[in-house]
Amino acid sequence: MNSLVLMLVGLAMMLAGYFLYSKYLGRRVYRLAAGFRTPAHELSDGVDYVPTNKFVLWGHHFTSVAGAAPIVGPAVAVIWGWLPAFLWVTLGTVFFAGMHDMGALWASVRNRGQSMGMLSGRYIGARGRNLFLVVIFLLLLMVVAAFATVIKNLLISTPSSVIPVWGAIVVAAVIGQMIYRWKINLLVTTVIGVVALYTLIVVGDRFPVVLPDPVLGMSPATFWIVALFVYAGIASLLPVWVLLQPRDYINGVQLFIGLGILYLSVLFASPAVVAPAINQDVPEGTPSLVPLLFVTIACGAISGFHGMVASGTSAKQLDSETDGRFVGYFGAVGEGMLALGAIIAATAGYRTLADWEAVYSAFNEGGVSAFVSGGASIVNAGLGIPASLSATILATMAVLFAATTMDTGVRLQRFVVQEAGEVLGVRVPKGWATVIVLVVAVGLTFSAGGDGSGGLLIWPLFGTTNQLLASLTLAIVAVVLLRKKRNPLPVLVPLVFVLVMSIYALVVQLGTFWADRSWLLLGLDVVILVASLWVALESAIAMRAARRGDFDPETDEPVLASSAGGGDERA
Amino acid sequence: MTVRDRLRGVSAGLRELYEAPYRRTLSGARRDEDDLFTVVVLAEALGVPNPASYYTVELLPLVAERVHEWHTRMGMDRSPLEHVSCC
């Protein structure tokens, strides 16, 4: 199989999804109306509610949702062969992610731009809201721990990325000053920032940094993890304009450059896919494809995190409701493209099957490092950039995505801790809240084998939580549809599939963690399992009530039973 | 459409991309700072001795408009000030 064919077929499927399926969803299911007054106009305040051009909003939405996760997941999952990952990413993007993101956006727009947490309170019930907070906290906790491991692995496997990765922090800080203090034009700033970053990449490629063992009494792996958390702690405490804002922006620009480099290289090099379509001879210890594939690739096929971005921010800026198709659905297509690129890099970037098998020697081996080395040889063949420089570019890209998720994640978790403190009646200062978050996250990272021995054990658990969040969002969208007496099947079928796969995966992993004696992960697994069953139960109750009751077609509020069919003895 | 217009359009789009995600955080930070400033200016009126009142009294008219917004945000239904009544 040639990778160019794979790329074209994948792109054609996702674009067909956008042009056909999203049109169907927009017309028949969500019934987007151009005349609907969106929250951006109705509640316009110049801060949160601002009508925004749909291309700009798409760019913002896409760069917020796409990050390292759609690279890590597929790069791990190709161990089962390229075909399962390819099908799950393409079909998932078309029927799951696109529908989910567009649905979340629509549900939020129809509810004054409220976030999914608020909507779960309204459509699922008060317990639904608490459930939402629990799931979000777990998700943030795991993403921070998993990404620390991902970054550490890349810094060790690609030492040439050390200088650009840490130098990028300085670049971002300077950009922040250029914009707010020196008021330099953003276009000029962007060009300067990108040039500076790529100069650092060239410098880093010339001077790789390999840490001696031990460093300050720690192994290099431990040292990098500690350094990353110290960085994340400091970055999360700084005012956002100093570091987080310019960093997010540069990453967004970098996302487009990276995608361009990857797709152009495949176009010019069109290497053959060496990995088997379906790997008959998976390394020992690899869990079974069903259900683990569906939680290993979360972002890129369906991700609950998108629902948070769609409902929290994008919904408040949607100029016209019909733009939701482009912003929501095409945002998911963008992420699917990144995941597809990761699949191609991790399966076609090797010369022979034996080379590939040597990289994917065990489950959770390979992963992002395989994406970097495979992708580098494709970029080398396609664009003529030296292989080591290409590897540095891709590794830096992946690390920057993961690192911004980490610092933002720590910052958001700090708010969760402070809020939890308020509920308990304790005022937690922000420094202490950050320390609490860091201690928990570092503990989780090391207990999950972050020192290098265990690889990315926590990844499937992260995927499961993400799917759980997606299920919760889908349940809300389904309840909204049921209350409006529309056909909920396009939402219901994916919902049941995702939820069943997540619960199945949790049960399978329960056995693995038990056998490995990883008690912390086992405990987390149990918590997530309980949360999943709870989601299933609560959404079933809410859907039943929505199907039976009568609701005002405008507000979705229950209509007191006066007409026929209102009361029901069994309910 | 000239090249200059197009560049300006791109620049405005980039600006939006840069600012939109953080608009709420930054306006929140600004509000917090303004609230602190309001307290400093109103200190004497609230019964807190303020060594700088000679200077801040001049600023009273500037914060007067914001008093209502400020005291409701601080959780007080009525204005705590005797001579500034707003509701």
Domains of chain A: 3-57+91-548 (1.20.1740)
Interface test with B, best of A48, A185, A187 (most B CBs within 10 A): A187
Q: Are B23 and A48 in contact, with CB atoms under 8 Å apart? A: yes
Is B50 inside a domain boundary? yes
Total beta-carbon pairs less than 8 A apart between chain A and chain B: 52
Q: Which pLDDT tens digits describe chain A residue by residue (571 residues)? A: 899 999 999 999 999 999 999 999 999 999 999 999 999 999 988 878 889 999 989 988 988 888 889 999 999 999 999 999 999 999 999 999 999 999 999 999 999 998 888 898 889 888 888 788 888 888 888 888 889 988 998 999 999 999 999 999 999 999 999 988 888 888 889 999 999 999 999 999 999 999 888 888 888 888 999 999 999 999 988 888 889 899 989 988 988 999 999 999 999 999 999 999 999 988 888 889 989 999 999 999 999 989 988 987 899 999 999 999 999 999 999 999 999 999 999 999 999 999 999 999 888 777 888 999 999 999 999 999 999 999 999 999 999 999 988 888 888 888 888 887 887 888 888 899 999 999 989 888 887 665 655 457 788 889 999 999 999 999 999 999 999 999 999 999 999 999 999 999 999 999 988 988 888 889 989 999 998 998 899 999 999 999 988 888 778 888 865 544 444 444 3
Q: Please name the member of A52, A55, A179 whose beta carbon is closest to the beta carbon of B20.
A: A52
Instruction: Kindly provide the b/e burial profile for residues A334-345, where b requires at least 16 CB atoms within 10 angstroms of the residue's own CB.
Output: bbbbbbbbbbbb
Cross-chain Cβ contact B13/A53 below 8 Å: yes
Cβ within 8 Å, pair A63-B13? no
Chain A residue nearest residue B13, CA to CA: A56
Tokens 């992610």 identify what position? Answer: A97
The encoded tokens of residue A255 equal: 């996302």
B11 found inside a domain: no
Q: What is the mean pLDDT of residues B55-74?
A: 81
Is B80 among the domain residues? no
Mutate to test the interface with A, among B11, B14, B22 (most CBs of A within 10 A): B14
Asked, for residue B6, whether it belongs to a domain, the answer is no
Binding-site residues on chain A for chain B (CB distance < 8 A): 47-48, 50, 52-53, 55-56, 59-60, 63-64, 179, 185-187, 190, 239-241, 244-245, 248-249, 252, 313, 317
* B3 vs A contacts (CB less than 8 Å): none
Question: Under an 8 A CB cutoff, do B15 and A186 touch?
Answer: yes
Q: Is residue A243 within 8 Å of A173, Cβ to Cβ?
A: yes
- Contact: B29, A239; criterion CB under 8 Å: yes
> The pTM is what?
0.89
Out of A187, A245, A252, name the one closest to residue B22 (CB).
A245
What's the pLDDT band for B74 if we cut at 50, 70, 90? confident
Q: Which domain holds residue B66?
A: 27-73
- Cα separation, A544 vs A435, whole angstroms: 44
Six-digit token pair at A108?
A: 């939020």
Indicate the residue of B11, B22, B24 with minimum beta-carbon distance to A187: B11
Whole-complex ipTM: 0.73
DSSP sequence for A357-396: HHHS-STTSSHHHHHHHHHHHHHHHHH---HHHHHHHHHH
State the Cα–Cα distance between residues A472 and A51, nearest whole angstrom.
Answer: 28
CA distance readout (Å), A58 to A14, A334, A347: 16, 10, 30
CB-CB neighbors (< 8 A) of B25 in chain A: 240
Contact A187 B7 (CB under 8 A): yes
Establish if B47 belongs to a structural domain: yes
Measured between beta carbons, the chain A residues lying within 8 angstroms of B10 are 187
Q: Looking at CA atoms only, how far is residue B5 from chain A in angstroms? A: 13
Cβ distance of A179 and B18 shorter than 8 Å: yes
**B51 occurs within a structural domain:** yes
Total number of domains constituting chain B: 1
Among A238, A183, A162, which residue's Cα sits nearest to residue A396?
A: A162
Region of residue A444 (phi > 0: left; psi between -120 and 50: alpha; otherwise: beta): alpha
Domain assignment present for residue B3? The answer is no
Across the interface, do A48 and B24 touch by the CB < 8 Å criterion? yes
Hey, how many other C-beta atoms are within 10 angstroms of the C-beta on A378?
Answer: 27
The answer to whether residue B35 is domain-embedded is yes
Helices H / strands E in chain A, number of each:
25, 0
Across the interface, whether the CB atoms of B20 and A239 are under 8 A apart is answered no
With a cut of 80, say whether residue B5 has pLDDT above it: yes
